[in-house]
Amino acid sequence: MSCMLVGSTTKQMTDIQTKEDVTLLVNKFYDAVLIDELLAPFFKRLNFEVHLPKMIHFWSFVLLDEPGYTTNVTEKHDKMSLSMDLFNQWVNLFKQTVDELFVGEKAELAKQRAVVLGWTMGSKH
């Protein structure tokens, strides 16, 4: 089991287990996206009050088997003019965020799914 430093204390890292964990992951990831010099220009125009709940629902569906997510993710991203390099940056930032917060089977699954999503969407552009 890994540990991460939080303030002046060490917190033992756990796997992604709850919707609260997914919410933390999504929020931290998009915080990072919005300060990334390559990705920020594409994401700053999003309404995050609308976008974040959708992303939390998507990742809860993927990682926690939460029912009800029916949106075609690839189709939603077709309108964005992102190159494969930008999708790779998205994937790398997502994996880095997962690694900073979690360790375990679901954390590995999150990273694997991000790689597949990035490749699938990036290969269409």
Is the CA virtual torsion 89, 16, 50, 70 positive or negative?
Answer: positive
Check whether 125 has a pLDDT greater than 70.
Answer: no
Supply 71's token pair: 């949106």
pLDDT band at 6 (very low <50, low <70, confident <90, very high): low
pLDDT band at 76 (very low <50, low <70, confident <90, very high): low
Structural domains of the chain ordered from first start? 3-122 (1.10.490.10)
Q: Is 66 helix (H, G, I), strand (E, B) or coil?
A: coil
Contact status, residue 61 vs residue 67, Cβ threshold 8 Å? yes
- The CA distance from 13 to 92, in Å, is 20
- Nearest Cα neighbor of 105 from 16, 7, 34 is 16
Matching residue, tokens 């965020």:
97
Supply 65's token pair: 């088997």
Share of the chain above pLDDT 90, in %: 63
Amino acid at 22: V
Tens digits of residue pLDDT in 12-56: 899 999 999 999 999 999 999 999 999 999 888 889 999 999 999
Helices 84-101 + 105-122 axis angle, to 10: 170
What's the predicted TM-score (pTM) here? 0.85
